Structure 1
Amino acid sequence: MVVVGTLKPRVTDWRLVVGSRLDRVRADLVALGPPDPLDQEGQGWREVAEREAAVVDDMINRGEPRWRSVASWWSGWHIERAWRSLHEAEIAAVAAGNGFLGRLPGLKARVAENLPEDDHRRRALEGLRPGEFPLAVEREIVVDALRAAFDASDFAHAGSRALRNKLIATSVVLFAVNTLLGVLGFVDPRMIPMCVSSEKLPTVCPSGRGAGASDVWLIQVLGAFGAVLSAVVLLLRRRPSLSPYVMVGYQALIKVLLGAALAVVGVLALGAGVTTGLIGVASQAALLVWAVVLGYGQQIATRLLDSYTDRVMDQARPLPRLEGQR
C-alpha cells in the first residue's frame, strides 16, 4: 500500500548516532551466541533487546504525513522514544549475557557520566566485585545503575526540548514586536520618533533628511547587524554537540531580534535626553553607529541565556565524555 503525502525520514545527526548505537546493540546480541537454555532470565533480556531494537528501527526510519510532521517536530516524541528504546535495548543487551562483568569498567564510566558520586546505585556498581554475589543479583545491580543513568539522560533530552520550544516562542514574540514597531513607524514617523536633538547639537535623523517612514526599519536593521556580530562570537565558541536538539540557531535568532528591538529603544532614549551630558549625537553617522552598538548591547542580556543553554546541553549529551573532559 502506498501512503500519499508522507515524508521520507531525513538524515539527521541524531538518526546517525542512534543508528550506529543500534548496530552496536545488534552486534552485541550476535556476539552472545545461541541462548543458554539454563539461563531463562538472560533469554528474557535478549527478547527485550530485540523488541526495543525494532522500536528504535521504526523511529529512525518512519515517515509521517506532512501535516503531522510539524507536531512531531515540536513535541519531539519520535526522537525521545528512539533514545529511550535505544537505552532499554542497550541495557537488555548487557544483561542478556552472563559475562557482563567483563565490561564493568565501561559500565562504571557510563554510569558516572550521569549519576552523582553519592548515588547508591552508582556506589553499588562501583563496589561490585565478580563472584561476590549470585549472577541474578549482579545483573540487577548493573541494570538498576544503567537505568538510573539513562533516565537522567532521557530527562535531560526532555529538558533541552522544552528549552528549544521556549526559544522558538520567544523568537516569535520578538519578531511580532519588531514588525509592529516597524509598521507603526512607517504609518506615522511621529509615533516612534527616531530623531535625536539637543540644545547644543542639531537635530539628527537616521535618514539624514528629517523624520522618515523608514527610520524605524533602518535602526532595526543596524541593531540586528550589531547583534549578528555577537551571534558570530557565539558560533565560534560553540562546542560541537550530538544532542538531538541544536540550540545555537535559535539563540542567534533571539540575539538578532532582540538587538533590533533594543536599538529602537536605545535611540528613543537618546532622543528623550536620558543620556544628556554623557552621550552627544552630532551627525547621522554617529546615530547609525550608536544603533549598531545598541544592537550589540543585547549580549549583556543574552549572556545568561547562553550560560543556561550551555548547562542544559551539557546534561543532554547522548554520548559519554572521554576521560579528562570537562
Structure 2
Amino acid sequence: MGKPRATDWRLVVRTRVERVRADLAALGPVDPLDQESARWREVAEREAAVVDEVLEDDLGRWRTVVVWWSGWHIERGWRALHEAEIAVAAASPGFLGRLPGLVARVAEQLDETDPRRRALEELRPGEFPVGVERAVVVDALRAAFDRSDFAHTGSRALRNKLIAASAVLFLVNTALGVVGLLGPGYLPLCVRPERLAAVCPTGGAASGADVWLVQALGGFGAVLAAVVLLLRRRPSLTPYVTVGYQATIKVLLGASLAVVGVLALGAGVTTGLIGVASQSALLLWAVILGYSQQVATRLLDSYADRVLEQARPLPGHGGEG
C-alpha cells in the first residue's frame, strides 16, 4: 500500500477544495433569518469531505487499474468539488456580489439561448426574493458544471477507444510481422520495375525481415507527424490526456499503411505514377507512406481537440487552478 499519486487533476482539485473551505470560513456566523444558507454550508462541508476521501484513497495496485479504466474515481471527485463550489456560492449572504464571475463561469458552458444562462444574466439584486435569486444562481451553475462533468465522461470514452484501437493495431502489425517472418512469400514486398531486377526492402532476395523493416520505417514516418502533434498541443488540465494514445495510433497506423503501400507498389497499382528503381527509393517510400497516415488521423486529432476543450475544468472562484 503506497501513498496516493500526485497527478495534475489531483493538484487542481486539492487547490479548489481548499479554496472552498477558505470561502466557508470567510462567511462568518450564520444569519438566523437565513436558514437556507446554513443548509448550503452543510452541503459544502459534506461534499468537500467527499473530495478529501477521493484524494486520499489508496486504491491498491489491481483496483487502480479498474478505477483508471472506468474513471469513476476522477469523476466522483470532480462532481463532488462542483457541488461544493455551488453550495458555497449559494451559502454566501452576498452571493449576488459575485454575479459577474458567476455569469462568466456559466457562459463558458451554456449557450446564449439557454434560459438558465439568460435568467442569470438578467438577474438584478433585490428584484426577487433571496430564495428565488439563489435558485437562479444554483440552477445556472449546476447546468454549467453538469455540462463539464458530462464532457469528462466523453473524454474518458474517447481515451478508452484510443487504447482499444491501439491494441488492435498492435496485434495486426505483430501478426503481419510474424507472417512475413515465417513465409516471406505470403507478403511479397519486393518491387519489380520494368527491365530491372527486383528491389526488396532488405536488399537482395525476399527476406523474412522485409515486413519488419517496412513497418519500422513506416512507424518512423508517423513519428514525424506525432512530433508535430505534440508540439502544437497546448498544455491542458483536463482529467484525461489523450495525446499519448493519439501518437501511438499514428505510429501503429503508419506501420500498417507502409506495408499496404509497398504491397501496392509491388502489385503495379502505381505504374506510370511512381517509379522505384533502388532499395533506397523503396525505403524512402515506406517512410512517406507511414507519414501519410496523417491524412486519416487529422480528423481524429480535430475531434479529440473538441472533446478535450469541452472537458477543460471550469475556473474556480479565483480563476483556473
How many Å separate the matches in 1 of 2:220 and 2:165? 19
Does residue 154 of structure 2 align to residue 159 of structure 1?
A: yes
Residues 62-103 of structure 1, C-alpha deviation per residue, up to 9 Å, x if partnerless? 111211110000001010000000000000011112100000
In 2, are the aligned partners of 1:7 and 1:66 still within 8 Å (CA)?
no
Does residue 250 of structure 2 align to residue 255 of structure 1?
A: yes
Structure 1 residue aligned with 2:312: 317
| Mapping of residues 11-90 of structure 1, within 5 Å | 11-90=6-85
How many Å separate the matches in 1 of 2:245 and 2:31? 51
Q: Which runs of 5+ in 1 are unaligned?
A: 1-5, 322-326
TM-score (norm 2): 0.97
Does residue 181 of structure 2 align to residue 186 of structure 1?
A: yes
Does residue 112 of structure 2 align to residue 132 of structure 1?
A: no
How many Å separate the matches in 2 of 1:200 and 1:209? 17
SS at match of 1:8: coil
The one-letter amino acid paired with 1:11 is A
How many Å separate the matches in 2 of 1:37 and 1:135? 14
How many Å separate the matches in 1 of 2:83 and 2:32? 23
Residues 266-302 of structure 1, C-alpha deviation per residue, up to 9 Å, x if partnerless? 0000000000011111000000000000000000000
Residues 36-57 of structure 1, C-alpha deviation per residue, up to 9 Å, x if partnerless? 2221110000000000000011
Does residue 138 of structure 2 align to residue 143 of structure 1?
A: yes
How many Å separate the matches in 1 of 2:142 and 2:196? 69
How many Å separate the matches in 2 of 1:201 and 1:22? 72
Structure 2 residue aligned with 1:307: 302
Identity of aligned residues (%): 74
The one-letter amino acid paired with 1:315 is Q
1:320: Cα distance to partner?
Answer: 4.3
SS at match of 2:142: helix
TM-score (norm 1): 0.96
**What is the number of equivalent residue pairs in this alignment?**
316
2:99 aligned residue (92, 99, 104): 104
SS at match of 1:114: coil
Structure 1 residue aligned with 2:266: 271
Q: Which runs of 5+ in 2 are unaligned?
A: 317-321
How many Å separate the matches in 2 of 1:203 and 1:18? 62
Does residue 167 of structure 2 align to residue 172 of structure 1?
A: yes
Root-mean-square deviation (Å): 1.0
SS at match of 1:190: helix
In 2, are the aligned partners of 1:98 and 1:135 still within 8 Å (CA)?
no
How many Å separate the matches in 2 of 1:9 and 1:37? 41
Does residue 267 of structure 2 align to residue 294 of structure 1?
A: no
1:238: Cα distance to partner?
Answer: 0.4
